Structure 1
Amino acid sequence: MIAHGLEQGRARTLRSSVALHAAMAVGGLIMVLFLIAHMYGNLKVFAGQKAFDGYSAYLRTILEPLLPYSGALWILRVILLISVGTHVYAAFVLWHRSRKATAGGGGWRYETTQNRRGVQRTYASFTMRWGGVTIALFIVYHLLHLTANYIHPGGASSSPYERMINGFSIWWVVLSYAIALLALGFHLRHGIWSAFASLGANTGVARRRHLNQLAYLITVVVIGGFLVPPFSILFGWVGP
């Protein structure tokens, strides 16, 4: 009986809103680390085709022969899929619980000069859900374009460098990329802050201010780093 009770208690804890917030935060932070690494890799386009294609090939040979070809890359993909799945699942369950608890009216938090009704909403927090949907749709397109090479605006190529140059030489491709990154920026800024808050790191006014500044800094660096290559290619600063 005692063991059964402990097991039920652990199950309730894992399903609690606190645990879901923590799981969503950890999954989100793993994705942020991936975005930083991916952004850094994209900047290698400025080193030329040989360097960029070499970097792309290297990702598939990491830890060979300990791991098979693309083994490390697939491990990373699985970790990312688990992180994304956990993040989305936790977000949906928490949103559903909030809707159910408030009859769809949203949560009342505290009054500020900008929010006399007591509902704290920034543009970023208000658009988190639809921003997430926009990002998800863009990721599918992005993978089909630059990773799988199933769609190829500007021309098909077996070279990752040439696929990037061909695609970002077209204005509407760059525009769609910029719009998706704008959505990602709002999601990222609010998400980083929320992740640290969910993990209990926002204790004290000074700590909250520093975490907010960190969230802005990471967002500017990541989004700026992702935007530089496509606009540089579009304006002819990088290319064959």
Structure 2
Amino acid sequence: MSTPTLVKGARASRSTIALKLLMAGSGFLFLGFVLAHMYGNLKAFGGRKAFNEYAEHLRVLGEPMLPHGGALWILRVGLIVALVVHVYCAVVLWRRAARARTTKYVMKKDTGATRASLMMRWGGLAILVFLVWHLLNFTIGKVNPQGGATNDPYLLMVDTFDLWWMTLIYIAAMLALGAHLHHGIWSAAQTLGWTGTAVKRKRAKAFGFVTALVISIGFSLVPLAVLAGIITK
């Protein structure tokens, strides 16, 4: 192999590692946000006052140094940047893997890694579509599917999940998120070198599974409670 080819291969390898590190870093940022968001959602079990006070606290965070809602917009911009980085890295890495593959996978030769990769790709797309819908429903558009109040976070939440099909969409998205986190945390741990031994691999897999389970169940509790009549207006 010629020297230019070796140099080109080394650069591509470094670039791939950098992309994986960016994916892992942005992924952990999202993980922190998702955990905080889940905690906020669970305030709904405390009633309308507790939930709305939490929502208002986020809007006044940082005042008077920041304008009303300023901290929320900083957080939103940061998450959008992290999302763009995460999606860009995922697309570039997928295209590189596709180019490097010399033969198409067939069912008999399919591997767990292949299935996990497909699940991550399509699961990530499903989460992205849900995220747009979620923002239109609760944050930017504040669209109440029942035509009720949109300036009251608690009532907007109850009116949304009081519809069985809206709850079903939400639960399906949480299952996709759980599956994405389960494999994503494991992949990030590999990228960061946290799976060097059998014990570390076992811990990383356990951490990914438990985290995915907690988040999926935690986010699903509120819509199911609304649908069951436990959380009401």
TM-score, structure 1 normalization: 0.87
Amino acid paired to 2:191: S
Q: 2:128 is matched by which residue type in structure 1?
A: A
Give 5+ residue unaligned stretches, structure 1: 1-8, 107-114
2:167 aligned partner: 174
Q: Deviations over 1:157-194 (max 9, x none)?
A: 11000000001011000011111111111111000111
> What is the rounded CA distance, in whole Å, between the counterparts of 1:126 and 1:14 in structure 2?
22
Change (3 A) 1:15 1:204: closer
The residue number in structure 1 matching 2:220 is: 227
Residue 186 of structure 1: aligned partner: 179
2:202 maps to 1:209: yes
**CA distance change for structure 1 residues 50 and 104 in 2, over 3 Å: closer, same or farther?**
farther
Contact 1:31 1:80 in 2 (8 A): yes
Secondary structure of 1:60's counterpart equals helix
Query: For residues 5-154 of structure 1, what are the structure 2 equivalents within 5 Å?
Result: 12=11, 16-103=15-102, 105=104, 117=109, 119-121=111-113, 123-154=115-146
TM-fit CA distance, 1:124:
4.1
Residue 123 of structure 1: how far off its partner (Å)? 4.8
CA deviation map 1:212-237 (0-9, x unaligned): 00001111111110000000000001
Q: In structure 2, what is the Cα distance between the partners aligned to 1:197 and 1:74?
A: 33
CA contact (8 A) 1:99 1:105 kept: no
5+ residue gaps, structure 2: 1-7
The question of whether the paired residues in 2 share the 8 Å contact of 1:124 and 1:187 is answered with: no
AA paired with 1:227?
A: S
* Corresponding letter in the other structure for 1:92: V
SS at match of 1:36: helix
C-alpha separation in 2, matches of 1:166 and 1:96: 42
Q: Name the SS of the counterpart of 2:111 in structure 1.
A: coil
Matched, 1:163 2:156: yes
Note the C-alpha offset of 1:121: 2.7
Per residue, is there more helix in 1 or in 2?
2
By how many angstroms is 1:104 displaced?
6.4
Tell me what 2:230 maps to: 237
Three-state SS of the structure 1 residue aligned to 2:113 is coil
Contact 1:45 1:52 in 2 (8 A): yes
Q: Alignment length, in residue pairs?
A: 223
Separation in 2, partners of 1:119, 1:52: 45
Find the aligned partners of 1:104 and 1:143 in 2 and give their Cα distance: 40
Matched AA of 2:174: L
Runs of 4+ in structure 1 over 2 Å off: 12-15, 103-106, 115-126, 148-151
C-alpha change, 1:48 and 1:135, in structure 2 (3 Å) is same
Tell me by how many angstroms 1:149 deviates: 4.0
CA shift for structure 1 position 119: 3.2
**By how many angstroms is 1:35 displaced?**
0.4
AA of the residue aligned to 1:83: A
Paired letter, 2:186: W
- The answer as to whether partners of 1:13 and 1:19 remain within 8 angstroms in 2 is no
Alpha-carbon distance, 1:120 to partner? 3.4
Letter in 2 for 1:35: V
Residue pair 1:60, 1:71 contacting (<8 A) in 2 also: yes
